[in-house]
Structures are given as structure tokens and as C-alpha cells.
């Protein structure tokens, strides 16, 4: 099967700029993609990126800040964001909030730096708070771009994102019959971080969907939980050890596949989608909510184990993990915890532990 050609971030940025659109750099995790697109601003997400020399960023950050933020600041300081018009830093954790403050108060980029506070918990108050935050972000974008999209334009982009989320859910649902390696599958999933929705929908449509087998024969279903699968070598190691990633609980992937909103007010509808999305440590989801979600995911996919793949020093994930492991183990679900730095290759120790974990699951099959 020939590999699917996925355009690079750089290619997409140049294409969108040549079409007259502005480009925004978006730091993790939750934000309204549709709002930016209504302003003809193309959002491109910055999850690190991995493999960056973090020396420049380290001059502004404590050594115990997670490598996503370390890399994200270093990438900017090296000139990696010179093509963008503005920067958004959602306040999803203390490290990201600190990054926003560093940009605004110390580094002071030439681009406009915007922030977005994400509420904790799934409540009506959370929806109201985030709705107000998104409306403030609308006013900031209007000031920066000189544009003011009408309600109809906002709703058009909201509906397009809702359609795209439905396509992603369908793609996930067919994972066990998709003849793609774990890395190939997640390269497609993660292309949404920078592809326009219609381009992304076409990518999903051309991706292979059906295999004669229900999952690769003899392989063990695995769920990966954490922020992001970087370095992506982890996916190759799982496959080579006889595993098969059937689903995920990753902040860059499944946790941001939102449902449909119900409100007619576009700001409230965007807020509903984020607040009522999958439970997430950075949105203050309860241990009960997250453990029920993970348990349901293992039952629905037939996964035999969960790998907690944690970015070093990610406090929101670290706070939850011990309790989640206990809940899952009480349900008979085996777990493995790995810690990674997105700027370092996967250690031999981590590779050995993954292989041993999957061998154990095979022995219990």
C-alpha cells in the first residue's frame, strides 16, 4: 500500500498565506478553531515541536517546566514563528499560563499575543465563563485583523468543525479494520493540527478504511493516554512488539474530538463544544469521569492494556495518574507508565518496558 501524502506544516502555511489569509500559532490545548477561521486566520498548532534545542528557552524557564513549553518558547526564540501574524496561548495549565506571561511581559514578540482562559469542570457556569472568554477573543481578533465576521459566518465555521469532528469519530470507529500502522494512523489524526477542515476531510476520505481482518491477527489492543505521542517512535515500538493502538486518550487527539453544540449564540455554542468534550485533566475533569471514559474505551475497543505516556513534568497528568491506575487495575485493566521528553529519543529502557508489557498481555490472552 503506497503511503498517503500529507502536506507539511510549512507547505500549508505558505499556501494559506498565498491565498491572502493570516496565520496564527496556537499553543496547546483547547481553543475554538472555528473562531479563527471565521476571521480568515488559519490556525497552526505548536506542540513543541519535538527535537528543538531548548537552550534559548531554558534561559527564561525553570528546569522543571515540561518539554512542550520548553520547546515552544525555544522554537519562537529561534525564529520558528516568523511567518505568523499572531500567537494564542490558552491557559490550560500553570506552565502554559507562565508561557503566556513570558511572551507578554518579557519576550514581547512582534506579533500580537492573545490568551484564553479555560474553565474547570463541566457546568453551566463553565460554559458561560468560556463563552465570555471566546467573545473577548473575538474582539481581540477584530482589533488585530480589522475584520468583524457576522453571526452567520461564525455559524458556518462552527458547523464545518462539527462535521469534521463527526468524520474523525467515524475514522476512529473503524480503527480496528484500518490497514494502517499506528504511526500512519496517527500521522493522519494529527494532521488536523494544521490542515484546513475541507483538506482534512479529503485526507480522511482517501485513507484506507477496511481490512479483511478485525485488527491485525495476533496483536494486542493498546490504548495510549497522555498529552501527545512524541517521540512518535513509541507507536513503532508498540507495533513491533505485537501491539496495536486501537484508540487513545491523548490531549492532542481524541480529547479534542468535540460533539455538537446546541446553542444558537455562536460564542456559547463554541464554549459548549469545548466544555462538554471528553474529560481531560487540563479541564479539571474528575477522576471518576476520566476513569469511566478510559474503562469504556477499553471495553468498546477490546483493548487489553493502557500505556500512560507522560511528558516529563506535566503536572495535570501527574496528579491524576496514580488514582487512574488504581481505578483501572481494580477493573482488571493492566497499565504501564512511561515518561518522555519530546526532545529526546525514546530510551532503551522505555522500549524494553513496552516490549515486556505487551508480552505479558499476550501471555494472558
Cell triple for residue 298?
477499553
**242: region left, alpha or beta (phi > 0 left; psi from -120 to 50 alpha):** left
Residues 6+ apart with CB under 8 A from 340: 230, 231, 234, 309, 310, 311, 312, 346, 350
The Cα–Cα gap between 338 and 325 comes to 13
- Least-confidence region, from 36-45, 119-128, 258-267: 119-128
pLDDT at 321 over 90: yes
| Largest Cα–Cα separation, the chain | 62
pLDDT of residue 211: 64
> Could you tell me what percent of the chain has a pLDDT over 70?
97
pLDDT of residue 317: 93
| Cα-based angle 76, 77, 83 (whole degrees, multiple of 5) | 45
pLDDT of residue 214: 52
pLDDT at 249 over 90: yes
On whether the CB atoms of residues 24 and 44 are closer than 8 A, the answer is yes
On whether the CB atoms of residues 283 and 319 are closer than 8 A, the answer is no
The Cα–Cα gap between 211 and 218 comes to 15
| Cα-based angle 203, 23, 144 (whole degrees, multiple of 5) | 145
pLDDT of residue 3: 67
Residues 6+ apart with CB under 8 A from 213: 177
Band the pLDDT of 133: cuts 50, 70, 90: very high
pLDDT of residue 1: 52
The Cα–Cα gap between 51 and 70 comes to 11
pLDDT at 210 over 80: no
pLDDT of residue 212: 55
Band the pLDDT of 363: cuts 50, 70, 90: confident
pLDDT at 2 over 90: no
Q: Which residues pair with 183 in a beta bridge?
A: none
* Mean pLDDT estimate for the chain: 93
Question: Model's pTM, two decimal places?
Answer: 0.94
Domains of the chain, each with CATH number or no CATH: 21-149 (3.40.50.11890)
pLDDT tens-place string over residues 156-178:
999 999 999 999 999 999 998 88
pLDDT of residue 216: 61
Cell triple for residue 205?
476520505
pLDDT at 232 over 80: yes
Torsion 137-141-147-149 (CA) sign: negative
Amino acid at each position: 500500500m503506497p503511503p498517503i501524502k500529507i502536506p507539511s506544516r510549512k507547505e500549508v502555511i505558505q499556501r494559506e498565506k498565498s491565498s491572502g489569509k493570516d496565520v496564527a500559532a496556537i499553543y496547546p490545548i483547547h481553543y475554538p478553531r472555528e473562531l479563527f477561521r471565521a476571521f480568515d486566520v488559519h490556525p497552526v498548532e505548536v506542540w513543541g515541536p519535538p527535537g528543538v534545542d531548548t537552550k534559548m528557552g531554558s534561559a527564561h524557564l525553570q528546569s522543571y517546566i515540561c518539554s512542550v513549553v520548553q520547546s515552544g518558547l525555544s522554537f519562537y526564540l529561534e525564529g520558528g514563528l516568523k511567518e505568523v501574524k499572531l500567537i494564542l496561548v490558552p491557559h490550560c495549565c500553570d506552565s502554559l499560563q507562565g508561557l503566556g506571561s513570558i511572551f507578554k511581559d518579557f519576550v514581547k514578540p512582534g506579533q500580537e499575543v492573545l490568551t484564553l482562559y479555560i474553565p474547570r469542570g463541566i457546568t453551566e457556569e463553565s460554559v458561560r465563563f468560556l463563552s465570555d472568554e471566546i467573545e473577548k477573543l473575538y474582539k481581540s481578533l477584530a482589533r488585530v485583523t480589522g475584520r468583524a465576521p457576522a453571526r452567520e459566518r461564525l455559524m458556518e465555521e462552527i458547523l464545518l468543525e462539527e462535521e469534521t469532528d463527526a468524520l474523525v469519530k467515524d475514522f476512529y470507529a473503524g480503527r480496528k479494520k484500518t490497514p494502517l500502522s499506528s504511526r500512519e494512523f496517527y500521522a493522519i489524526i494529527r494532521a488536523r493540527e494544521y490542515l484546513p477542515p475541507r483538506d482534512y476531510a479529503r485526507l480522511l476520505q482517501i485513507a484506507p478504511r477496511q481490512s479483511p481482518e478485525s485488527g491485525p491477527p495476533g496483536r494486542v489492543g493498546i490504548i495510549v493516554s497522555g498529552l501527545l505521542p512524541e517521540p512518535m517512535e513509541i507507536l513503532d515500538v508498540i507495533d513491533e512488539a505485537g501491539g496495536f493502538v486501537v484508540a487513545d486518550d491523548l490531549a492532542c487527539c481524541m480529547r479534542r474530538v468535540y460533539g455538537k453544540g446546541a446553542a444558537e449564540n455562536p460564542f456559547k455554542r463554541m464554549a459548549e463544544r469545548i466544555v462538554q468534550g471528553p474529560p481531560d485533566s487540563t479541564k479539571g475533569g474528575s477522576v471518576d469521569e476520566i476513569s469511566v471514559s478510559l474503562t469504556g474505551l477499553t471495553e468498546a475497543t477490546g483493548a487489553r492494556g493502557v500505556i500512560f505516556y507522560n511528558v516529563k513534568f506535566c503536572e495535570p497528568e501527574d496528579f491524576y495518574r496514580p488514582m487512574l491506575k488504581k481505578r483501572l487495575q481494580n477493573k482488571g485493566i493492566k497499565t504501564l507508565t512511561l515518561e518522555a521528553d519530546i526532545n529526546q529519543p525514546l530510551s532503551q529502557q522505555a522500549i524494553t518496558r513496552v516490549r515486556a508489557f505487551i508480552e505479558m498481555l499476550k501471555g494472558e490472552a
